[in-house]
C-alpha cells in the first residue's frame, strides 16, 4: 500500500476529536441507563447496528491487508519468520495472563463464602450457553480453521478462516511473480475503498457506544454490580495489573513509550469499552499502527493473527471467572487441576476472535472440557458479564497493538523516529490518515 506521510496535525476543536465524542457518549449512556433503565431495550439496537456495520467490513479488510502485505514482501521466508515470532509471542503472553489471573483469584478468592447451589442456576439463562458449549479437541480446532467454501470464510464472520484463506491466496499470488502484480495493485485499491467505508461508519461510533453502554447499565448495571461487586472489582484490578506488570514492561523493553501509546489509541480503547467488540476498531488500529511506522507486511500479518490467537484480556477472564465459579459453588480445585485448566484455556483462548459475546461461549466450552465445574454455573455471572467484557476487550486490543509493534521491532520493520514523532503528537497526528 502507499506510504503514509506524516504531516503536522491541524488544530481542531476539542469536540472534533473522536475520543472526546466517544467519552461523552459513554458518560451519557451510563447516565441514561441509570436514570431511565426502562429504555435499555430501545438502546441496544444502536450498539448492535454499529457492530454489524463494522463486522460487515472486517473480513474483506483482513483479506486485503494480509494479501497485499504478504504479496508485497516477495519473499516467503520472511513471512514465515514473522509468523513464527508472532505465534511464540502470543503463547508467552497468554500464559503470562493465565498465570497472573490464577494467582490473583486464588489469593483474593472473590467467590469464597457465596455457597451457591448449582441446582438453582439451571433456569437462569445458562441453558442456551451450555448448549453452545462443545468439547475442545485439537482436531476440532484444525477443522475450524478451514472454511467449507472460499466465500464461506467471509460469510461466517470468524477471523481465523479468513486469515487462512488470505495467507493461502497471498502465497499463490506471490508464486505468480510479475504476472500477479496487477492483482496486487487491484487489491491495494480495493483496500483503500474498504478503509474509506470504515471512515464513514466511524462517524456514528459515538452513537453505537452510547447505545451499547446504556443498554448494559440499564439492564444489568447497578444491581448486578452490587451483588457481584467483589468479582467485578477483582477483575478490573487484575486487568490493570496485567497492563502495568506485563504489557508496560514488554513495551519498555522494546523502547516503546507505553503511556503515549495508550493516549494514541484512546479513541479506540474507549470505543471497545462501550461496544465490547474488538472487531469494531480493527480497521482503525490497522491504520494507526502503520501510521506509527510499522512495516505493512508485519501489520497485515501480525494484527489479524492477533485477533485470532492473541487474547490477553480474554485469558484473564477465563482464568478468573472459572476459579471464581468453583469458589462460589464450594468446589475445591487442586493445583494439578488448575494446571490442567490452564492448558485447556491456552487452546480455547484461540477460539474466540474479538466478536462481542463470544467470550462467554468459550468460557462454557472451557468448563465443558474440564468437567470439574458445571457449565450451568456460567449463569451466575450473566448479569455482570457485560461489565467484565468492558475491561478485558480493551486489554485484548491493547495487547495486539503492543504485539504488532514488538514483532515489527524484532524484524527491523519499525521506523523509530516516526514512532516517536507520532506518539509525541498524539492521536491528532493520525487524524489525517483516518479521515
Residues 398-407 have pLDDT tens digits of 999 999 999 9
Mean pLDDT of 88-100: 93
Residue 5 belongs to some domain of the structure: no
Task: Give the total number of structural domains in the chain.
Answer: 1
Neighbour count for residue 138 (Cβ, 10 Å): 8
| Cα-based distances in Å from 254 to 343, 362, 377, 403 | 28, 32, 42, 11
| Cα-based distances in Å from 388 to 120, 237, 243 | 23, 11, 16
Query: Structure pTM?
Result: 0.75
Look at residue 265 in the predicted model and tell me its pLDDT. Answer: 93
Mean pLDDT of 267-284: 83
Residue 7 belongs to some domain of the structure: no
The residue to which cell 497526528 is assigned: 429
Q: Which residues pair with 294 in a beta bridge?
A: 414
Residue 8 belongs to some domain of the structure: no
| Residue of higher predicted confidence among 74 and 364 | 364
The residue to which cell 455457597 is assigned: 115
**Alpha carbon distance 188, 2 (integer Å):** 8
Highest mean predicted confidence (pLDDT) among 300-314, 356-370, 376-390: 300-314
Q: What percent of the chain has pLDDT over 90?
A: 22
Mean pLDDT of 189-203: 84
The answer, yes or no, to whether residue 232 has pLDDT greater than 60, is yes
Look at residue 89 in the predicted model and tell me its pLDDT. Answer: 94
**Alpha carbon distance 179, 416 (integer Å):** 34
The answer, yes or no, to whether residue 367 has pLDDT greater than 80, is no
Look at residue 119 in the predicted model and tell me its pLDDT. Answer: 61
Domain that holds residue 407: 26-434
Banded pLDDT at 246 (limits 50, 70, 90): very high
pLDDT tens digit sequence for 132-171:
545 555 566 677 778 888 888 888 767 678 878 888 898 8
Residue 209 belongs to some domain of the structure: yes
**Alpha carbon distance 307, 289 (integer Å):** 14
The answer, yes or no, to whether residue 102 has pLDDT greater than 80, is yes
Cβ–Cβ < 8 Å for 305, 83 = yes
**Alpha carbon distance 158, 144 (integer Å):** 10
Residue 9 belongs to some domain of the structure: no
pLDDT tens digit sequence for 18-64:
667 877 887 888 888 888 888 777 887 887 788 788 778 878 887 88
Indicate the Cα dihedral angle 234, 235, 238, 242, nearest 10°: -170
**Alpha carbon distance 358, 259 (integer Å):** 29
Residue 341 belongs to some domain of the structure: yes
Banded pLDDT at 223 (limits 50, 70, 90): low
Look at residue 134 in the predicted model and tell me its pLDDT. Answer: 52
Q: What percent of the chain has pLDDT over 70?
A: 78
Residue 10 belongs to some domain of the structure: no
Backbone φ, ψ for residue 136 (5° rounding): -95, 130
The answer, yes or no, to whether residue 66 has pLDDT greater than 90, is no
Question: Lowest-pLDDT range, 46-55, 191-200, 264-273, 324-333?
Answer: 46-55
Residue 19 belongs to some domain of the structure: no
CA angle 229, 231, 234 (to 5 degrees): 105
The answer, yes or no, to whether residue 225 has pLDDT greater than 60, is no
Instruction: Output the domain CATH number for residue 119.
Output: 1.10.3860.10
Look at residue 9 in the predicted model and tell me its pLDDT. Answer: 45
pLDDT tens digit sequence for 417-430:
999 999 988 776 65
Look at residue 145 in the predicted model and tell me its pLDDT. Answer: 78
**Alpha carbon distance 14, 252 (integer Å):** 30
Look at residue 262 in the predicted model and tell me its pLDDT. Answer: 94
Amino acid at each position: 500500500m502507499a506510504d503514509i506521510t506524516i504531516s503536522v496535525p491541524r488544530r481542531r476543536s476539542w469536540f472534533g476529536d473522536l475520543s472526546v465524542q466517544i467519552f461523552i457518549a459513554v458518560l451519557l449512556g451510563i447516565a441514561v441507563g441509570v436514570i431511565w433503565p426502562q429504555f435499555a431495550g430501545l438502546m441496544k439496537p444502536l450498539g448492535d447496528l454499529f457492530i454489524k456495520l463494522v463486522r460487515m467490513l472486517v473480513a474483506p479488510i483482513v483479506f486485503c491487508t494480509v494479501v497485499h502485505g504478504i504479496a508485497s514482501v516477495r519473499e516467503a521466508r520472511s513471512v514465515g519468520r514473522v509468523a513464527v515470532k508472532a505465534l511464540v509471542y502470543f503463547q508467552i503472553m497468554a500464559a503470562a495472563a493465565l498465570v497472573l489471573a490464577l494467582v490473583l483469584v486464588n489469593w483474593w478468592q472473590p467467590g469464597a463464602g457465596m455457597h451457591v447451589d448449582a441446582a438453582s442456576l439451571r433456569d437462569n439463562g445458562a441453558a442456551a450457553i451450555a448448549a453452545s458449549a462443545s468439547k475442545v479437541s485439537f482436531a476440532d480446532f484444525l477443522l475450524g480453521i478451514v472454511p467449507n467454501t472460499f466465500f464461506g470464510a467471509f460469510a461466517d464472520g470468524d477471523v481465523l478462516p479468513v486469515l487462512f484463506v488470505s495467507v493461502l491466496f497471498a502465497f499463490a499470488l506471490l508464486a505468480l511473480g510479475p504476472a500477479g502484480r496487477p492483482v496486487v495493485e487491484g487489491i491495494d485499491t480495493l483496500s483503500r475503498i474498504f478503509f474509506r467505508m470504515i471512515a464513514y461508519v466511524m462517524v456514528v461510533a459515538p452513537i453505537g457506544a452510547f447505545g451499547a453502554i446504556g443498554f448494559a447499565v440499564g439492564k444489568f448495571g447497578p444491581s448486578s454490580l452490587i451483588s457481584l461487586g467483589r468479582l467485578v472489582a477483582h477483575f478490573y484490578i487484575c486487568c490493570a495489573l496485567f497492563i502495568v506488570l506485563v504489557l508496560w514492561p514488554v513495551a519498555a523493553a522494546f523502547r516503546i513509550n507505553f503511556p503515549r501509546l495508550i493516549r494514541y489509541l484512546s479513541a479506540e480503547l474507549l470505543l471497545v469499552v462501550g461496544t465490547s467488540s474488538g472487531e469494531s476498531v480493527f480497521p482503525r488500529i490497522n491504520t494507526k499502527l502503520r501510521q506509527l511506522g510499522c512495516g505493512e507486511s508485519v501489520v497485515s500479518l501480525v494484527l489479524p493473527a492477533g485477533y485470532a490467537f492473541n487474547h490477553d484480556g480474554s485469558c484473564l477472564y477465563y482464568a478468573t471467572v472459572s476459579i471464581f465459579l468453583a469458589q462460589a459453588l464450594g468446589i475445591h480445585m487442586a493445583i494439578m487441576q488448575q494446571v490442567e485448566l490452564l492448558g485447556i484455556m491456552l487452546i480455547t483462548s484461540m477460539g474466540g476472535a474479538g466478536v462481542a459475546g463470544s467470550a462467554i461461549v468459550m468460557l462454557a466450552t472451557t468448563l465443558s472440557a474440564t468437567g470439574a465445574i458445571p457449565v450451568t454455573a456460567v449463569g451466575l455471572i450473566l448479569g455482570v458479564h457485560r461489565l467484565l467484557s468492558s475491561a478485558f476487550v480493551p486489554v485484548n486490543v491493547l495487547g495486539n497493538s503492543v504485539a504488532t509493534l514488538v514483532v515489527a521491532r524484532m524484524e527491523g520493520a519499525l521506523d523509530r523516529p516516526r514512532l516517536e514523532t507520532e506518539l509525541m503528537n498524539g492521536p491528532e497526528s493520525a487524524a489525517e490518515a483516518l479521515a
